[in-house]
Chain A
Amino acid sequence: MRAALLRHVERWYSIPLLLLMWQAAVSSGLVESRLLPGLGRVAAALIRDTGNGVLPYHTAITLGRAAAGFALAALAGVPFAAAMARSALLRNLFEPIFFFGYPVPKIALFPVFTYVFGIGSPSKVAFAFLECLYPIVVTAYLGFRAIPVRLVWSAENMGAPRWAIIGRVIVPAAMPGIFSGLRIALPIAIVVIVLTEMIGDSRGLGYYIAISGTRFEFANVYAAILIIGACGFVLDRGLLRLRRAVVHWERDGERAL
């Protein structure tokens, strides 16, 4: 009991410690309180803007956009990766696009997206889709290609029909790869949406941060950062849980921070 408690303290002490140092720095007047507002003011801003519905409103918009981009990328990317792993023609046509395009900073294309899709939600969702598509396709593709061929041979040998091989051998064997791609893409979706909202929008947490920053309301900036961090953390945990349920036979590689 005591040992377990100690372990928890050992594992989590740094967050309260840092918050304490933050508060101490503010209270002692070492840092300007306008720049680094005290915890009380951040909490007050958080409570005030949650109570009057401003933060929930912007959070819902940001999460909705991120979810839309992410889901579209997953729905399009995974089957496409499977097709690429399967067909030599598709592979030859699209492998360079994905492998050479992967390190290209696609953010530079965002201004073009605003012209094609308008400055509201569509351009942001489309851009999140593009940014998520790359890690999902590349990782899932590597996952599909890394399936040991003897698994397929064994299934064929035992007389499994084609659909059973796909559904019971290939897809499950590729699941770890698919999930790694999704796990890379999920924070990207959130980052990209907040970023593009900061560049230009009148809704969403990115806008909230940008406008609070220009008004020197840094307590509100930190409040929004806290919310984004919490959302990202919860969503990542959710994805890990899903992975654990789907890929129940493999424990390796799921170790989270």
Chain B
Amino acid sequence: MKIPAAVQHWIVPVVVVAAWEGFGRAGMMPRYLPPPTLIAGALCEVVADGELARAVATSLYRVIVGFTLGTSAGMLVGLGAGTMPGVRHFFDPLVGFLYAVPKIAFLPVFLLLFGLGHESKIALIAFSCFFPVFIASRHAVLGVDKHLVWTAHNMGAARATTFFRVIVPAAAPQLFTGARIGLAHAFILLFAAELMGARGGIGPLISEGEDAGRFDLMFAGIVTFAVLGFVGDRILMTVRGFMLRGQMIGTIEEAVR
């Protein structure tokens, strides 16, 4: 008998969760890994008393503003670097050096510059998003088929027309790839910054649960954080699918999705 693929997809997660629950109930799991049903209970608890909603709102505010600022800056400068050699030569060495530096290393500096409130986290998230988005946008423009650009020029298109009607659409898939990497960076930075000193947000929720020995609460925060990151990515991918309908047909990415 052959198990359908759709069922096979669920085997590993279901087995893991079931085993976790079973061993947990049997008392064979360490205390810091509470069974999934307890985590669900804790999740309901924080949802009911509104604590979760407040934490999510705070974290989302930080990540959305930071991501938007960093990504728009990265795209603008990246597109500029792709089209203008002067901009490219200015930013390439800087980005090449700073890209490999964990942006969280600047946390002490940002804390002192922007204070302990939202601003330091937002600035750090934006700073961190900028780099992958810049690199992807820059590469995207340089990778645009030269024939397309020449053809447009040949037909008398103005520079601005060529840029908006030829270069940007042709580079769009990679612009989204850059934004996607930027979003992943944004969530990592959000978590690290919140864990290392912030009031409000999901990070403190997790560390408070940990400090109080309420590991079910800690996991409730972890699950929420994971879900937020996942949903954010899905939203971005849905927007991309909508904006690039027709462009993704026949690519590997379409095939595996």
Contact = CB atoms under 8 A, between A and B. Distances in A.
B33 interface: yes
A212 B188 CA distance: 22
What does DSSP make chain A's interface, helix, strand, loop or mixed? helix
B108 A212 contact: yes
A18 B95 CA distance: 13
B100 A111 contact: no
B105 A209 contact: yes
A109 interface: yes
Contacts of B119: none
Contacts of A212: 108
Contacts of A210: 108, 196
Contacts of A250: none
Given A93-B12, A96-B9, A105-B184, A111 B206 contact: yes
A218 B12 CA distance: 47
Contacts of B166: none
Nearest to A237: B96
A198 B107 contact: yes
A213 interface: yes
A12 interface: yes
Interface residues of A, number: 60
A5 to B, nearest CB: 14
B93 A15 contact: yes
A105 B109 contact: no
Task: Bin chain B's interface residue count.
Answer: 35 or more
Given A97-B12, A195-B192, A229 B108 contact: no
Contact of A187 (B91, B100, B256, B257): B100
A105 B13 contact: no
Given A14-B93, A97-B13, A112 B222 contact: yes
Contact of A107 (B192, B252, B256): B192
A257 B192 contact: no
A190 B12 contact: no
A105 B92 contact: no
Given A142-B252, A232-B100, A195 B188 contact: yes
Interface in B180-201: 180, 183-184, 187-188, 191-192, 195-196
B94 A14 contact: yes
Contacts of B229: 103-105, 108
A99 B108 contact: no
Interface string B86-101: 0001111111111111
Most buried by A among B10, B105, B184, B256: B105
Contacts of A63: none
A15 B97 contact: yes
A104 B184 CA distance: 8
Given A11-B89, A225-B101, A95 B108 contact: no
B123 interface: no
B154 interface: no
Contact of A103 (B11, B13, B94, B233): B233
A103 B96 CA distance: 25
B222 A257 contact: no
B99 A257 contact: yes
A110 to B, nearest CB: 8
Most buried by A among B99, B102, B229: B102
A150 B30 CA distance: 52
B92 A11 contact: yes
Given A103-B184, A109-B222, A213-B108, A14 B90 contact: yes
A229 B11 contact: no
A145 interface: yes
Interface in B194-213: 195-196, 206-207, 210
B8 A93 contact: yes
A115 interface: yes
Interface in A172-202: 187, 190-191, 194-195, 198-199
27 contacts: A92-B5, A93-B8, A95-B9, A95-B256, A96-B12, A105-B226, A105-B228, A107-B192, A108-B206, A108-B222, A108-B229, A109-B222, A109-B226, A112-B33, A142-B256, A187-B99, A209-B108, A210-B108, A218-B108, A224-B105, A225-B105, A225-B106, A228-B100, A232-B99, A232-B100, A233-B96, A255-B142
- A-B pairs with the 7 shortest C-beta distances? A232-B100, A213-B108, A103-B233, A92-B8, A105-B229, A105-B187, A191-B102
